[in-house]
Amino acid sequence: MEALSFILSLALLILLAKILGELAEKIKLPSLVGEVLAGIILGPQLLNMLGFHDVLNYLAEIGIILLIFTAGFEHGTIKELLRYKSTSILISIFSCGIHFAIIVAFSYYLGFNLLTSLFIAIALSATSMGVSIRSLFGINEIDTRIGKTVIGSLVLNDILGLILLTIVASYAEIVTGGSANLWIQIAKVIASITLFFVIFYFGSMYLPKLTTFSVKFRVEEAQFSLAIVLILLSAWSASYFGLSSIIGAFFAGIILSRSPIFESHTFIEKISSLSHGFFIPIFFAVIGSQLIFANFTANILRAILFFVVIDGLLVLGGFIACKINKYSNREAVIVGLGLLPYGEVTLVVMSTLIALANAKPQYFIGQDITSLFSSILLLIILTIIMTPLLMRLANWLMNKPTLKPLKVKKNVRTA
């Protein structure tokens, strides 16, 4: 019976997500708005028809991995990302430096202690690559320098954010009576990141050639299964080395795009059908299902305050970095908006804070961490909905010119 209940819940979730996604598209809204709304409706705060949270979370994780893989496969080359490296580096320095310090100061001003403020800063410095990429797809900017700049910035942000998270986690352990050695932890993180990129380098050299052996397999869909295995292994390896799994998925896309057996449109159509038809709607619906209505007014007001002040400064930082490198006003605005959305990394950081507060409450006296988590969750949903809407609005208001996609020679991919 449990299996049947799960199957029914899953069917209802996908059906409602697609229906509401279609309605959203009809009124010129991104389909992900409808998918998030489906999760809110079916979630525990309203109809409460979604059980099996662990399984849904795993399916949602696969959904975001496949979405990012597609972006890496179709639109990601190291050469093109490095082409706009100066802007991406400037944005990352602002996001993980100046912006991080501003969040700490602002959170402290709102009454949170230093430890909580540091966790808030980590959580609100982590942009959701999945939402940004899907929003860029929606305005056909994934293949322009806007898309390349946003993707490059988010990859750098993930690396710098991991180092900052290590520092904050080590500081938290020291403050709460642990014996962590800050410098050893930082050295481990840097070594792990370096090892991951060394593996990626050799993978990009040899894996495309090795995949050609799969054409000899007689089992049905052998090449497609091989691709799925490599995607999941890349995502796992990135997580194992401390990075986000989506970074591994993105680089898996770059590697497999260089393999001659995956060049056909049939392959990417299969991946797209599997992800957009099943896994990706689950990801956005799961985010929506986590909405909490307790103390809603106070929490939404704080979420809006964070959105206006903190996210407003983030967009401004991205805009300034782009203008320094002579981007147009429209390009600079959209790049800044690409830094807005929060997602899975923000939830992980806030969950870590809640676990720490529950384990050692004496260090969080007077800090309503549960209410703070609700506000951050509302902020995540707000940014997921507002990012594609604001991008479309900016495109419309600033009279987008006809832009040609970046030129990439057919059947030739550059690592």
Number of other CB atoms surrounding residue 27 within 10 Å: 8
Nearest one of 309, 295, 292, 312 to 377, comparing CA atoms: 292
Separation of alpha carbons 40 and 243, rounded Å: 29
CATH 1.10.3720.10 fits 2-397, yes or no: no
Sequence ranges of the domains in the chain: 2-397
Inform me whether the pLDDT recorded for 414 exceeds 50: no
**Helices (H), ranges, 125-257:** 129-138, 145-175, 182-210, 222-240, 245-256
Contact 269, 177 (CB under 8 A): no
Separation of alpha carbons 353 and 282, rounded Å: 25
- Looking at residue 17, what is its pLDDT? 92
Contact 163, 186 (CB under 8 A): yes
Q: What value does the mean pLDDT take over residues 256-260? A: 81
pLDDT digits (tens, 9 = 90+) for 86-133: 888 888 888 888 888 999 999 999 989 998 999 999 989 888 888 888
Q: What angle do CA 79, 84, 88 make, to 5 degrees?
A: 120
Mean pLDDT in the chain?
Answer: 83
Q: What is residue 405's DSSP assignment?
A: P
Separation of alpha carbons 157 and 162, rounded Å: 8
Give me the DSSP letters along 89-123: HHHHHIIIIIHHHHHHHHHHHTT--HHHHHHHHHH
Residue 395 in tokens: 């495109």
Contact 338, 318 (CB under 8 A): yes
pLDDT digits (tens, 9 = 90+) for 354-405: 888 888 888 888 888 888 988 998 898 899 889 989 998 888 888 754 444 4
Inform me whether the pLDDT recorded for 413 exceeds 60: no
Residue at 289: amino acid letter: S
The crossing angle, in degrees rounded to 10, of helices 280-289 and 53-75 is 130
pLDDT digits (tens, 9 = 90+) for 300-347: 999 999 999 999 998 999 999 999 988 999 999 999 999 998 877 788
Contact 340, 153 (CB under 8 A): no
